[in-house]
Structure 1
Amino acid sequence: MAKVFRAPVFSFKSCVSAGALAAGLIASPAFAQAAPAAQDSAEAAPQDQSAQQGVEEIVVTAQFREQNLQDTPLAITAVSGAMLDARSQTNVAEVAAQAPSVSLKPQGSSYGPSLVASIRGVGQYDFNPALEPGVGLYIDDVYYATLTGSLFDLLDLDRVEILRGPQGTLAGRNSIGGAVKLYSKRPEGSNTGYVSATYGIRDRIDLRASADFRLTDTISTRLSGVSKSQDGYIKRMDFGCVYPAGESAINPAGGVPRILPSNSDCVLAREGEVNYQAVRGQLRWQPSSSVDVNIIADYTNDDRTTGGSVLLERRNAAGAVVSPNYPYPPNPAARVFDINPYDAAIPYDSRFVCGEYCNYATYQSLADNGQAAQTVDGRTSFEGWGVSGQVDWDLNDTMQLVSISAYREYRTLFSNDDDLSPLAHSLGRGDLSFWSFSQEVRLNGSLLDDALEYTLGGFYMDQRSVYATTQVLRYAGLTPFIGDDPVNADTKAAFAHLAWHPIDPVTLTFGIRYTDEHKDYTYSRRTPDGDIHPQQGALDGVTGNYDNSRVDYRLNALYEVTPDISVYAQWSTGFKGGGINPRPFYPQQVLSFGPETLESYEVGFKGDLFDRMMRLNVAAFYSNYDDIQLSLTNCPQAGAGFNVPCALPANAGDAHVKGVEVETSLRPAEGFMIDGSVSYLDFDYISGSIIPASGIQPGMVSTYTPKWKWSYGMQYEVPLGSAGFVTPRFDASYQSDIYTNAVNADTNKIDDYIVANARLTWKNEDEDLEIGVEVTNLFDKYYLQSLFDLTRAGAGFATALPGRPREWAVTAKKRF
């Protein structure tokens, strides 16, 4: 019987330091906000992929059972742990950069420690826990329900699986675009491990370690940890220091005073720094050949300056500057407010555009017009932990019971100065806490001499988040308010998966999942003194409810042309849950939105060709994407005078999405590896389906959806005899233009770019010692990862998180 692989996550709350790691708390990869699970594999030095004859075999579990990647009739990008190391990849966003039709991007300071996630034009960029991700994020099959804390680190992974297309039956709710699954290595009792240390530009210091050892004949354990630190690459400059008041028209007398002393370098802080530690432990009990119990515990701490943003100068179609420019667009006089707390007349304009890697944020709003001064710290912190347990019980030769239980909890604090200037425009502080409990049970079996394989299962999840926020939005004419909004959600699901082999080369698959979900959101709107807010008090204590049930289906037919070549066709569905607007600035904006749905048709080809010297996988798809949820920055449906500021999720319209994806791997000679991918995606809103209030026009596309993506990499392992091996590697990836707002405009456009990385690795003859030198962003390309545009919302700015400039690092790794 094919076995299901699932890894539990057992986590505890404990502190880990770089010193403890260096001392030898042998650790494995933690995740940038969570820990991956493990798969059966020892720590002994893995055979280099490039030394293998033919393309690499990767086992995946996308259909609840262990299957060879090439035997799985799905569009999957699967990357092994060895390849992650070869590419110098340390977080899941870097893996996505080389996957077709996938966008995973870190957010700037406005959204805290969160992620943009989109696959095939479907996803989410808003971290708010009341909104659903659209791309399912999993570590060892444990679902992570929010985008906050999801920029996972990749240390000690067995593999990463990225499933493209709706996974409504296989992964469940909110995997409408696809799913990203990380699998780590399970304890094997091998008494092996490794320690690695990295030093790089701007005092980068990474320490990673892992150890796997046997406690008894039936119990083994694996401990892992990581500590990373690096100075930031975006300078937060003191405007009054760079331009002393009274010395130029940029900062006239009576203007912005300096904060730092006159003999300083005018740098208030460095944003985009790294200060991250995590630890996790696994305990595996195998009392017999039929029972396997794995417990995992993890703890993560991430405490640093904000992710960093830069203020952009952007123009509208007529050529007028709209960022920075307050007020824009021109509002009625009653809706324009004083944001200048200084004596001199200083408008919000291009004088505050600092440069490619700097800004003039102060993280304070000075006292003015009867409003008290407000200050936030300009930092981001994330502290999370979790515990999970998985039981695999072979009931007999043809039946297996799998149980996965998990509890997760985190708290994150972050702040934002969205206008990135010393003016009293906008200021925010977020305090988001979250916990979830999930339970999944599966029964895997086979009948008719394995001609029929089945999985029957159930899933339950209960989660609660509280988003406490302080907002100082003087540009909107609002007095400071404090929100403390609890969101409760629960989900119940039942599913079945059947695979029938009527004749030898044919497999027919049917999947079905029923989901029932509930969500309630309670608003709290108070003044800093705890009184009912004078402008938003009508929201205080109001609760909105959302309930929905849904059935998703999957039909798939696989035909094996030869043992190494197969074709498949598939029809599948998925959905993302709806809810209530979590950010009403006025009572008139308390508006609901419904679920969005997707129906996809897909055909694919998978082949290992030329005696397995070449792998070629191709997928083509056509999707009907209905009731698309998009966040609007202008909501006229709220009524005159209440349309901005706005952050309203709405079902904006329907679209057809079609595309083609190609992935290939080549092994033209021993030691020589080439891999590549390319994707084309056409997103087309259906004329007549778009709600006029959305502002969306025909020809616009979904957010973070590039029409073209491609990537390639190559490496060649050169044997040096008794001196070991040396392997140079080069990678490059391309992304075409994307838009970051539902209403596409030049103000929220990210231009296309190519980023290249290079690495040179030496290994000794025994392959237990290696030294690597890497350069990321080899050609020092300036590009933007994510962008926050509020020009249509009356705020008059667009800011962005630039990608990291060229960086170098040296890593030494020792296996034992």
Structure 2
Amino acid sequence: MAALTAAPAFAQEAPGTTAAAGSASEQTAGPPTTAGGLEDIIVTARKRVENLQDVSTSVSALSANELSQRFDSDVRDFANAAPNVLIDDTQQGPGGVASAAIRGIGVADVEKAIDPTVGIVLDDIYFGTSSGGLIKAIDIDRVEVLRGPQGTLFGRNAIAGVINLTRSRPTQELTGKVRATYANYDSLDLEGVVSFGLTDWAAVKFSGARKKTDGYIYNTLQNQDGQRSDFTALGVQLLLTPTPGLELSFSFDDQNTDQDPPQLSNVSGPTSLLGAPPIARSNLFCAVLNQCSPAFGVPQQGDRYQSISNGPLNKNAFFDTNLFIAKVKYDLTADLELQYIYGRYETDEAITQDFDATPLTLFHTDRPARYHQDTHELRLTKGGGGPLSFVAGLYYWDSAYRIDLVSYIGFVVPDTVLALPQTVRQTNKSYAGFFDVDYRFTDWFKLTLGGRYTKDKKTQGVRDLGFDFYDDPVKDSWKKFTPKVALSFEPTDDVLAYGLWSRGYRTGGFTGRPATENAARTPYQPETVDNYEIGVKAELLDRRLRVNGAIFKLDYKDKQEEFSVPAPVGTGQETRILNAATATVKGVELDVTALLFDGFTLNGNVGYLDAKYKNFVADVDSDGIVTDNSGLKFRRAPKWNWTLSANYEREIGPGTAYLQGTWHYLGAHEMTFLNNPALRNPGQDLVDASISYKVGKTMLSGFVRNLLKEDGWSIGFDVQGLWSYAAPRTPRTYGIALTQTF
């Protein structure tokens, strides 16, 4: 299998030359190969175009050419492109709720009140919630994974890193691509994009997708498929260049998902939390209601890919989004560019979900919610070949959401289901100014200085049966300066060594799922991470071997921990977010790409993490007793993870054959805050492979994902004192695809 694994990570490729720093809009894609050596990797990780080997930070990337030969479904499939990256679906709501962690820093919760730790950015627009964060892999032209705090350029909630996605641009000539894919579970995907010129200064691009599946969970209680989904997407982008040096871009995307609610598994038992606090070990649903796991780590129904939920399965859940982006770029001089970027992102969603995952109605919810965000960014970029290059700008964020939650509770009063309503509204305004400057003292030494000043303001209003301050919301604000300093040493054109210190910051806020007025009104405070990193980037053996590595240490302060605790009123539980811990994460990362001979490339990456709490003293079970919890392990932080991949292509007959595959290993890791051993994931080997044959512009492919049928948990959650639920990762999938380009 190692000989069949997926191709190396290339972003926009240029034929063996190093690009000068400049604007992201100036880049062009080169040919996929260069005779005699590996391609330059051109990235926009720092909001200007530059060679990856010249960037003094840890970045991995996938190019349009590479992506065209992969069969990625959504952003989860990009996790194997970089070390120390985990991306899953929490299965806690419609539309795909991202749980992304980089270097052991991540969150896994559906609430929009909880800011992500990993910034997911599409065409320069940052998505401010985990809901909808699993962006579909449609018309993606480039993927960049930035590891470590990116607070200088990407802001307050990129404390773990950034996944930067870029789509293709409209072209003057008629170009396009259509792909049809059919896979098991009666999954049919149709995707298309076409671009053409309207005038010599205007071009337009249209894109569309239709995806349907019966899903991989079967509901044995209701005797039907339990996770069906229909997804449609339509998009248009207009690119105008009316005068030299002026570029205008406008895009609009409408996406709609209708689906069954995600099917969860009840994994509750009297010993399921052995070693955890006593309140967590006493699972009411098992001890009193006899809704129990039959064995340690086994769901109540026995099979992870079956469900016994009594929740509705009529595609009653939906997640609809609109995204509008406007960009104006003006070249002030040959190497100085001014750019304005506006983004408007809206979501409308509703779901009735069975969270208890049993045949009884014990804990169901209706969660209709609306969200919108408006972002404005003004950016000045200087490139060129001189000693000084920089990007500096101003940023404004304005967002709001409202959720009209109804919880259906059937475990409090015998033979009665209580309907408990709660309405929450939050607003968030953020202001920032930032800069990132490179100054090259000599051919050997380059100094990078960066900084961002951020001020955040949040409000929360809650209407509950026990209290009401919806019309008189609580308010709080926070501000932070996040600096960065890096020094690069380049003894030759092919070797770079650097030292980096950067600070990341995640803003404070209010819990969006309270049961008591005190929890609803009390804010939690920001958290910060200081990143110390030493790295080396080298191209050896006449550019046939590329080795990029880094050693890092992260110092965590005021670490935010989100978890469920018992509550004396309402639903019997609420989400708390505590600033209770300091922690340290130490690690190593290595990326290697080797062109062994023409047509055959090996790529590998490996990550090591040592994540530990230093001081975690807090009341974690809401009993009023403060305990030392420093022995708990980080969630989603495997000690070891690695990927071995390869790409072999050869001309056969009238066309070219491609063999690809990936072997991605995830070490054992915790899934829950309390380190529930029943929901702990063992080591997993995730193997993907594909074979394609291309004649002219037509390609026929066959593929398989998760070949070894790993069934680890993608989400695990303890509702303290009540029950624990989980959902498995996607099982083995296989299919065929026909791709036509023109």
TM over 0.5: yes
Paired position in structure 2 for 1:806: 732
Alignment partner for residue 142 of structure 1, among 118, 122, 125? 125
Say whether 1:402 aligns with 2:330.
Answer: no
Relative to 1, partners in 2 of residues 1:454 and 1:321: Cα closer, same or farther, differing over 3 Å? closer
Alignment partner for residue 350 of structure 2, among 413, 425, 428? 413
- Do the aligned partners of 1:674 and 1:715 also contact (CA within 8 Å) in 2? yes
- Do the aligned partners of 2:532 and 2:553 also contact (CA within 8 Å) in 1? yes
Alignment partner for residue 405 of structure 2, among 469, 478, 482? 469
- Do the aligned partners of 1:545 and 1:580 also contact (CA within 8 Å) in 2? no
- What letter matches 1:308 in structure 2? Q
SS in structure 2 at match of 1:97: helix
- What letter matches 2:306 in structure 1? C
Alignment partner for residue 347 of structure 1, among 290, 304, 308? 290
- Cα displacement (A) at 1:454: 2.3
Deviates more, 1:195-204 or 1:168-177: 195-204
Alignment partner for residue 43 of structure 2, among 56, 60, 73? 60
Alignment partner for residue 747 of structure 1, among 675, 678, 699? 678
Deviates more, 1:312-321 or 1:705-714: 312-321
Alignment partner for residue 656 of structure 1, among 558, 562, 584? 584
Q: Distance in 1 between matches of 2:181 and 2:61?
A: 26
Paired position in structure 2 for 1:685: 613
Say whether 1:521 aligns with 2:453.
Answer: no
- Do the aligned partners of 2:381 and 2:391 also contact (CA within 8 Å) in 1? yes
Q: Distance in 2 between matches of 1:743 and 1:339?
A: 19
Paired position in structure 2 for 1:70: 53
Q: How does 1:702-741 map to 2 (within 5 A)?
A: 702-721=634-653, 723-741=654-672
Number of equivalences: 709
- Do the aligned partners of 2:269 and 2:293 also contact (CA within 8 Å) in 1? no
Write out per-residue CA displacement over residues 254-312 of structure 1, whole angstroms, 9 at most, x where no aligned residue: xxxxxxxxxxxx514422x3321112111111123311111111111111112332233
- Cα displacement (A) at 1:626: 0.6
- What letter matches 2:250 in structure 1? I
Alignment partner for residue 257 of structure 2, among 294, 302, 307? 302
Say whether 1:450 aligns with 2:450.
Answer: no
SS in structure 2 at match of 1:384: strand
Paired position in structure 2 for 1:504: 443
Write out per-residue CA displacement over residues 455-503 of structure 1, whole angstroms, 9 at most, x where no aligned residue: 2210001111111211123336694221221111111001112110111
Paired position in structure 1 for 2:519: 589
- What letter matches 1:655 in structure 2? A
Alignment partner for residue 107 of structure 2, among 107, 119, 124? 124
Paired position in structure 2 for 1:546: 476
Alignment partner for residue 158 of structure 2, among 175, 191, 211? 175
Deviates more, 1:180-189 or 1:580-589: 580-589
- Do the aligned partners of 1:98 and 1:710 also contact (CA within 8 Å) in 2? no
Q: Distance in 1 between matches of 2:71 and 2:326?
A: 31
Q: Distance in 2 between matches of 1:149 and 1:572?
A: 29
TM-score, reference length from structure 2: 0.90
SS in structure 2 at match of 1:524: strand
Q: Distance in 2 between matches of 1:316 and 1:307?
A: 26
Q: Which runs of 5+ in 1 are unaligned?
A: 8-38, 239-265, 341-345, 365-375, 526-532
Write out per-residue CA displacement over residues 346-386 of structure 1, whole angstroms, 9 at most, x where no aligned residue: 6322474241211111127xxxxxxxxxxx96743110011
- What letter matches 1:799 in structure 2? Y
Deviates more, 1:667-676 or 1:305-314: 305-314
- What letter matches 2:425 in structure 1? P
Q: Which runs of 5+ in 2 are unaligned?
A: 1-19, 295-299, 622-626
- Cα displacement (A) at 1:6: 5.2
Q: How does 1:277-288 map to 2 (within 5 A)?
A: 277-288=232-243
- Cα displacement (A) at 1:579: 1.3
- Cα displacement (A) at 1:225: 1.3
- Cα displacement (A) at 1:665: 1.1
- Do the aligned partners of 1:391 and 1:404 also contact (CA within 8 Å) in 2? yes
Relative to 1, partners in 2 of residues 1:666 and 1:425: Cα closer, same or farther, differing over 3 Å? same
Relative to 1, partners in 2 of residues 1:540 and 1:512: Cα closer, same or farther, differing over 3 Å? closer
Paired position in structure 2 for 1:480: 419
Say whether 1:4 aligns with 2:37.
Answer: no
- What letter matches 2:663 in structure 1? A
* Structure ID, larger Rg: 1
Write out per-residue CA displacement over residues 187-243 of structure 1, whole angstroms, 9 at most, x where no aligned residue: 1212111211111212221111111211111111111111111111101122xxxxx
- Do the aligned partners of 2:562 and 2:578 also contact (CA within 8 Å) in 1? yes
- Do the aligned partners of 1:223 and 1:282 also contact (CA within 8 Å) in 2? yes
Paired position in structure 2 for 1:276: 231
- Do the aligned partners of 1:513 and 1:553 also contact (CA within 8 Å) in 2? yes
Q: Distance in 1 between matches of 2:586 and 2:447?
A: 24
Of Structure 1 and Structure 2, which has the larger fraction of its residues in strand? 2
Paired position in structure 2 for 1:211: 194
| Aligned-pair identity (%) | 27
Say whether 1:575 aligns with 2:502.
Answer: no
Q: Distance in 2 between matches of 1:690 and 1:6?
A: 49
Deviates more, 1:209-218 or 1:584-593: 584-593
Q: Distance in 2 between matches of 1:293 and 1:717?
A: 39
Paired position in structure 1 for 2:17: none
Q: Distance in 1 between matches of 2:272 and 2:233?
A: 47
- What letter matches 1:506 in structure 2? F
Q: Distance in 2 between matches of 1:176 and 1:378?
A: 36
Paired position in structure 2 for 1:24: none
SS in structure 2 at match of 1:105: strand
Q: Distance in 1 between matches of 2:528 and 2:725?
A: 31
Q: Distance in 1 between matches of 2:315 and 2:243?
A: 54
Paired position in structure 2 for 1:772: 701
- Cα displacement (A) at 1:79: 1.0
- What letter matches 1:83 in structure 2? E
Alignment partner for residue 101 of structure 1, among 84, 106, 119? 84
- Cα displacement (A) at 1:730: 1.9
SS in structure 2 at match of 1:690: strand
- What letter matches 1:180 in structure 2? I
Relative to 1, partners in 2 of residues 1:649 and 1:137: Cα closer, same or farther, differing over 3 Å? same
Q: Distance in 1 between matches of 2:273 and 2:334?
A: 71
- Cα displacement (A) at 1:713: 1.1
- Cα displacement (A) at 1:117: 1.4
- Cα displacement (A) at 1:318: 8.5
- Do the aligned partners of 1:130 and 1:521 also contact (CA within 8 Å) in 2? no
